[in-house]
Amino acid sequence: MGIRIALAGNPNCGKTTLFNALTGSNQFVGNWPGVTVEYKEGKYKSNKEVTIVDLPGIYSLSPYTLEEVVSRNYLIDQKPEAIINVIDGTNLERNLYLTTQVVELGIPVVIAINMMDVVEKNGDKINTAKLSEEIGVPVVEISALKNRGLKEIVDCAIKAAREADPQSPKHRFAGSVEHAFAHIEELCLHDMTDENVQRWYAIKLFERDEKIQEKLGLSQDVIAHINKDIESCEKELDDDAESIITGERYNYIGTIINGCVKKAAKGMTTSDKIDQVVTNRWLALPIFAIVMYLVYYISVTTVGGWATDWANDGVFGDGWHLFAIGTSAYTEDADEYAGNQLIVDGYDAYVEENGKKPTGDFEYPVEDEETLEVTYETASLEDYKEAKSYMDSTEEPDPADYGIWIPGVPVFVESALDAAHCNDVVKSLILDGIVAGVGAVLGFVPQILILFIFLAFLEACGYMARVAFIMDRIFRKFGLSGKSFIPMLIGTGCGIPGIMASRTIESDRDRKMTIMTTTFIPCGAKLPFIAMVAGAIFGGASWVAPSAYFLGIGAIIISGIMLKKTKLFAGDPAPFVMELPAYHWPTLGNVLRSMWERGWSFIKKAGTIILLSTIVIWFLTFFGMVDGSIQMLEEDQIDVSFLATVGKAFAWLFAPLGFGNWQATVASVTGLVAKENIVGTLGIIYGASGDVYATMAAAFTAASGFAFLAFNLLCAPCFAAMGAIKREMNNTKWFWTAIGYQCGFAWIVALICYQVGKVFTGEGFTFGTIFGIAGICLIVYGLVRKDKYNAK
Amino acid sequence: MGTAFVVLILVAMVAAIVRYMIKARKRGEHIGCGGDCGSCHGGCHK
């Protein structure tokens, strides 16, 4: 028969790390509460008959939070064969509070003291034999991160499960409390055969736990009778029942700690010293801003930018030289060849235009590769002669002559299709549709992976937990809870788990507000279009990508303040308790695993939903009604395509935002399927006119480009995230309120970015600027107006 | 002939993707989700 072993413990004590180590799973490990919202199961690697259950982290078995309800219900209803109570060895006192309750459940318990490596490093000593004796259950020292003691703890739990002889709790409460328990047991629990279970229920009834009263189906008479016993005890001990139990438990823990733990005398730890700076009242925010700026700068602009350039120009472009050997020599020769060709072409164009040869200097056009801007240069007849002689004597440089040349995917696919004598329509579908669309998305994989490495590192080392703490301090000033920031931290990977994490927020109003604003933070899927806008419209400026992150955070804070002042969301902020873990170097494996999980799902999406989307987008882009019949269009005809027709019908909506062209409109709409589609769609549409970045740079100004970025960052998320919003809201009206707010807010912010941005980018003050200023006034009014609901 | 062969591969590829997506949906997953399901363990699809 199978054995189920539950892992129970405080948040952030290493349960999920232990679970992953025991089962070989890749469950997400986070440094903040709420990472595990529901329990999850996995088979023990060394014995498939053993199922390990990871429960949400809890501080007690009282039903105050969702995690406590989930964990408690599992333990009392599902009754696992054994419990491994995971304890953070660096903080025994607080962790043992849960232990005193777990051992009362009537289920065999073994204690795993985790993080023993840190305990030893700190010079502390724990007498585990004595601890085991005091609590009455086996105690094993482990380090889940370093794979130490894992076999021993599971063997111990299996043994306890097989023996099925639960420990009797050694802790006894004060006489009057025990007396009350006895009365309660006799009154309504005497049918239970297990004395331990009887005792646990008696304690909960003593604490006036309504959920347990309800579960046992107690009548009002019985409850009134129990209350009399409790009140008499409360009178005697001069405290309320719950505080009596808590106080007694901590007294008991105090005696255990005194007898079993020896703390090394020491001053401030390294973590404390770092925290003095990192969480400093004045320095915390600037440090956070610098850290995130660096993360995005390195991921998108420098290292990530170089890697993505290689992916876009090489793998999904013409090709690349292996190890870049020969690239510089080839580029030099190719530039020289192109320069001479321009002069010769300019001369020929002059002759064709004027019907005669130039007698002196002549002008020839030069198109900027990045902006498509055409400028005119002057060449003399001497220049022409030199250029002509060069062209006659030189062949166009072949990259293969300069090193080992690996053709890019489009080149390779095109030559394969040519070899197969493929029809032009199918060839266009594959090259202009699938390869251009999916390639545009996959080209950003290097940037995505680098960003995910940084985020995984910041999460695992403990910094992101500090960010939640810093944000709580700021949020609380505006009547918001820092608990709302946790889903946003999780949402940097993907908005859906972020939306899910809002379940841990007890206040229904705060929870709904968090769901509405979580997706403002740029998720992994939004990074490609952020990078695309930065690269194409802003010439790779380093401030663009970090600004998207700060715009997301700003939108969350502004929305939070504005919404909190409305009747729908008014109310006190939910309390937020979180422990700041000691800083530590994350293991390389954990960081890489986290990166790969997120990165792989991005690649998987590109190969499935994005690929299907590109087929549809290609059809709608390259087909249209011409002379009353559906025809395949030439590249210069796509302005009459089906997609253009649809885009033009909605483009007016975006005209005030500066991107009222059909291309940007349809990209924003297809982004609702998956945000990567924005890049895929623009890759197909602008790819049809030549170079994607160059065409895009020509289609947007700085102001309209940033407005495009702002709108797509803040508007409704992808359909999958919308589905999660609908499920979590569990109400159609609320769902549409959320989507409506996101789109409305995004529209106003984009309007401000464009209309006011125009003034600063030299486009001047126009009539539309007045509306931009009106948008600013509207937001400022929302921020500063009287808070009449919360004032009550 | 070449065109027919390429179209056949293309159709098979699309069919495989659609089948994968339908199967994933039946398993309670959603391919549109950006992953990191470790932190929601598929709860979002229930």
The answer to whether position B40 is within a domain reads no
Mean pLDDT lowest for which of A364-368, A391-395, A736-740, A746-750? Answer: A364-368
List pLDDT tens digits, range A242-290.
888 988 999 999 999 998 888 877 677 788 899 999 989 889 999 999 9
Assess contact for A188 and A226: CB atoms under 8 A: yes
Q: Looking at A102, A129, A163, which one is the last position of a domain?
A: A163
Residue of B nearest to A593 (CA): B36
Assess whether A150 and A182 both reside in one domain. no
A592 touches chain B (CB under 8 A): no
Q: Please give the tally of structural domains in chain B.
A: 1
List pLDDT tens digits, range A314-365.
898 889 998 889 889 998 999 999 999 999 999 999 998 888 888 888 888 8
Assess whether A678 and A783 both reside in one domain. yes
Burial class (CB in 10 A: 0-12, 13-18, 19+), B19: exposed
A245: Cα separation from own chain's centroid? 40
A37, pLDDT greater than 80: no
H helices then E strands: how many in chain A? Answer: 37, 14
- Contact check, Cβ <8 Å, A494/B43: no
List pLDDT tens digits, range A289-310.
999 899 989 988 888 888 888 8
The answer to whether position B34 is within a domain reads no
List pLDDT tens digits, range A233-247.
888 888 888 888 988
Assess whether A554 and A696 both reside in one domain. yes
Burial class (CB in 10 A: 0-12, 13-18, 19+), A313: middle
Residue of B nearest to A56 (CA): B39
List pLDDT tens digits, range A423-471.
899 999 999 889 988 988 888 888 888 988 998 888 888 888 888 888 8
A527 touches chain B (CB under 8 A): no
Beta strand A109-114 pairing with A139-141: parallel
Assess whether A565 and A612 both reside in one domain. yes
Extended beta strands in chain B, E state: none
3-class state of residue B46 by DSSP:
coil
Q: What's the mean pLDDT in A742-757?
A: 95
Q: What is the per-residue DSSP string for A380-438?
A: -HHHHHHHHHHHHH-PPP-GGGTS-EEE-HHHHHHHHHHHTT--HHHHHIIIIIIIHHH
The answer to whether position B44 is within a domain reads no
The answer to whether position B31 is within a domain reads no
CA–CA separation, A214 and A31 (whole Å): 35
Average pLDDT over chain A reads 87
The answer to whether position A297 is within a domain reads no
B26 touches chain A (CB under 8 A): no
Cα–Cα distances in angstroms (integers) from residue A430 to residues A271, A297, A612, A626, in the given order? 55, 34, 12, 23
Q: What's the mean pLDDT in A6-25?
A: 86
Structure token pair of residue A502: 């809002």
CA–CA separation, A459 and A453 (whole Å): 10
What ipTM score was computed for the predicted complex, to two decimals?
0.86
List pLDDT tens digits, range A136-160.
999 999 998 888 999 999 999 999 9
Q: Name the pLDDT band for A192 (thresholds 50, 70, 90).
A: confident
* Chain A residues 604-643 within an 8 A CB cutoff of chain B: 604-605, 607-609, 611-612, 615
Q: Name the pLDDT band for A571 (thresholds 50, 70, 90).
A: confident
The answer to whether position A717 is within a domain reads yes
The answer to whether position A101 is within a domain reads yes
CA–CA separation, A203 and A229 (whole Å): 12
Residues of A in contact with B20 (CB under 8 A): 608
Q: How many CB pairs under 8 A join A and B?
A: 116
CA–CA separation, A115 and A272 (whole Å): 18
Q: Name the pLDDT band for A707 (thresholds 50, 70, 90).
A: very high
Assess whether A542 and A603 both reside in one domain. yes
Assess contact for A37 and A58: CB atoms under 8 A: no
Q: What's the mean pLDDT in A85-97?
A: 90
B43 touches chain A (CB under 8 A): yes
Which of A523, A527, A608, A619 to mutate to test binding with chain B, by most B CBs within 10 Å of its CB? A608
- Contact check, Cβ <8 Å, B32/A422: no
- Contact check, Cβ <8 Å, B31/A422: no
What pLDDT, on the 0 to 100 scale, is given for residue A371? 59
* CATH code: domain of residue A85: 3.40.50.300
A771, pLDDT greater than 90: yes
List pLDDT tens digits, range A470-497.
888 887 777 777 777 878 877 887 788 7
Q: How many CA atoms lie within 13 A of A187 on its CB side?
A: 22
What pLDDT, on the 0 to 100 scale, is given for residue B24? 77
List pLDDT tens digits, range A98-130.
999 999 888 999 999 998 988 888 888 899 999
Show the DSSP H helices in A218-302 as ranges: 220-237, 241-260, 270-278, 284-296
Show the DSSP H helices in A124-194 as ranges: 128-135, 150-163, 175-184
List pLDDT tens digits, range A19-30.
888 988 766 555
The answer to whether position A302 is within a domain reads no
Assess whether A779 and A650 both reside in one domain. yes
The answer to whether position B32 is within a domain reads no
Domain, as residue range, for A42: 3-163
Q: Looking at A216, A246, A262, which one is the last position of a domain?
A: A262
What pLDDT, on the 0 to 100 scale, is given for residue A81? 93
Which among A430, A597, A674 is the nearest to B32, CB-wise?
Answer: A674
Assess whether A537 and A679 both reside in one domain. yes
Assess whether A127 and A199 both reside in one domain. no
Q: Looking at A243, A262, A281, which one is the last position of a domain?
A: A262
- Contact check, Cβ <8 Å, A421/B2: yes
Which among B1, B31, B35 is the nearest to A609, CB-wise?
Answer: B31
Residue of B nearest to A33 (CA): B39
Q: What is the per-residue DSSP string for A60-103?
A: -SSTTSHHHHHHHHIIIII--SEEEEEEEGGGHHHHHHHHHHHT
Q: Please give the tally of structural domains in chain A.
A: 4
% of chain A residues with pLDDT over 90: 32
The answer to whether position B38 is within a domain reads no
Closest Cα in chain B, distance from residue A631 (Å): 19
The answer to whether position B46 is within a domain reads no
Assess whether A327 and A235 both reside in one domain. no
The answer to whether position A68 is within a domain reads yes
- Contact check, Cβ <8 Å, B21/A608: yes
Q: Name the pLDDT band for A374 (thresholds 50, 70, 90).
A: confident
Residue of A nearest to B21 (CA): A608
Assess whether A210 and A139 both reside in one domain. no
3-class state of residue A634 by DSSP:
coil
The answer to whether position A415 is within a domain reads no
Assess whether A562 and A708 both reside in one domain. yes
Give residues with Cβ within 8 angstroms of A191, minimum separation 6.
none
Assess whether A249 and A109 both reside in one domain. no
The answer to whether position B10 is within a domain reads yes
| Among the listed residues A299, A734, A721, the one whose alpha carbon sits nearest the alpha carbon of residue A520 | A721
3-class state of residue A535 by DSSP:
helix
- Contact check, Cβ <8 Å, B34/A493: yes
Which among B1, B18, B44 is the nearest to A500, CB-wise?
Answer: B44
* Chain A residues 294-353 within an 8 A CB cutoff of chain B: none
Residues of B in contact with A40 (CB under 8 A): 41
Domain, as residue range, for B18: 1-26
